[in-house]
Homo-oligomer: A and B are copies of this chain.
Amino acid sequence: MTGEFELIEAFLEPFPRGTGVTIGPGSDCAAVTVRKGMQLVATTDAVVEGVHFDLRRFSPEDVGWKALAVNLSDLAAAGARPRWFLCALGIPRTGRSGQIARRIARGMALLAKRFSCALIGGNVTRAGAWSLTITALGEARRPLSRKGARPGDVLVVAGVLGDAAAGLRPYPSPIAARAQRRPAPRIDEGLRAAGLASAAIDISDGFLQDLGHLCRESAVGAVVECSALPLGKAARALPDGMELALGGGEDYALLLSVPRRKLAALRRRVRFAEVGRVIPGRSVHLTELGQPRPFPRRLGFDHLK
C-alpha cells in the first residue's frame, strides 16, 4: 500500500502551478494574492467516522467542533485570521441523521462564533459513514508556512503537548477528554507570532513528525531538549507522558521557529516554551537534561495507515 506522502506526490504531479499562488499544495495551507498586501489563506481537512472519530466516544457536538478546529488550527499556524468556511457533509442512512446533523452543527457553531468565522456554503451527500470535509478561508498579510526556519532560530511551542493523546486512553481525565474532543486552535498566538516567527506548523500529527515536516521544508535540522517540552496536566500525570508529547498528535499547539533577536518581542505577545534550536544539516536530535535521548518508537500519524 502506498504511504501518505508518496501518494500526495503522485497526485500532484500532473497539475501545473497557478498564477497568484504564493503557497501551493503540499503545505497545510495554501495562500493566494487577492489584493495588494493581503493574501487569502485556504485549507481543507476531513474527519471521517470510524477513522477519526467514533460516535460512541464522541458526541455529535464534539465532532462538529473538532472538524472545524483542525482547519482553524491550520490557519493559526499560517498566522491567518479566520473569516469564512464551507462544510461538505457525508451522511449515512440512519433514522437519526437529521438529529445528529443538528447536534454536529451546534458544536461547530460554538467554535465558529468564538472566532467570528462564518459558514458560507457547503454540500450534503449520502455516504457510507459520517464525514465532514471543511474548507476554511482566512486572511494574512504575510502567511507563515513550514518553510523559512534558519539555523540559529529558536524553536518554541505555544500550547501544551500530550493531553490529546492521553484523551484516547480508557477513562481519560476531564482535561484529557477535553483536549481530545474540543481542541482549541491557537488563533491568537498565530496572529501575534505572524510578524516574528520564521516558520510555523500546528502539531496535529505529533511533535516529532511535525518538527520533521518543518525541518524538511526549511532544509534544516534541529536539537530539542525534551525536559523543556510543555507537557499538559494529563500527560504529566502519566508514566509515558513524554512519549505522548513527542508522538501522540492532535494537540494543535503551535511549533514556531523564531530568529533569536525577535524572541523578546514574541515573549511580550505570546506565552510559549522554548524547546530547542534550529541547526544546519537535516537531522533532528533529542536531548534530555543535555544528554542524548533515543527517539520513541511511535513517531506520529500517517493518515493512510
Q: Could you tell me which residues of chain A, from 1 to 47, have a CB within 8 Å of some CB in chain B?
A: 1-2, 4, 6-8, 10-21, 23-25, 27, 29-30, 32, 34-35, 38, 40, 42-47
| Segment with Cβ contacts to B, from A97-105, A234-242, A250-258 | A97-105
Tell me whether A281 is interfacial, beta carbon within 8 Å: no
Distance in angstroms from A224 CB to nearest chain B CB is: 27
Contact: A48 with B129, CB < 8 Å? no
Contact: A119 with B12, CB < 8 Å? yes
In the complex formed, the residue of B with least CB distance to A70 is B123
Tell me whether A290 is interfacial, beta carbon within 8 Å: no
Name the interface size band of chain A: 35 or more
Tell me whether A56 is interfacial, beta carbon within 8 Å: no
Contact: A133 with B97, CB < 8 Å? no
Contact: A120 with B48, CB < 8 Å? no
A42-B137, A48-B126, A127-B131 known; A2-B97 Cβ under 8 A: yes
Instruction: Taking A1-B94, A13-B102, A44-B123 as given, write out 8 further A-B residue pairs in contact, using a Cβ cutoff of 8 Å, ordered by the A residue number.
Output: A8-B124, A11-B101, A11-B102, A15-B112, A16-B109, A30-B86, A32-B137, A86-B135
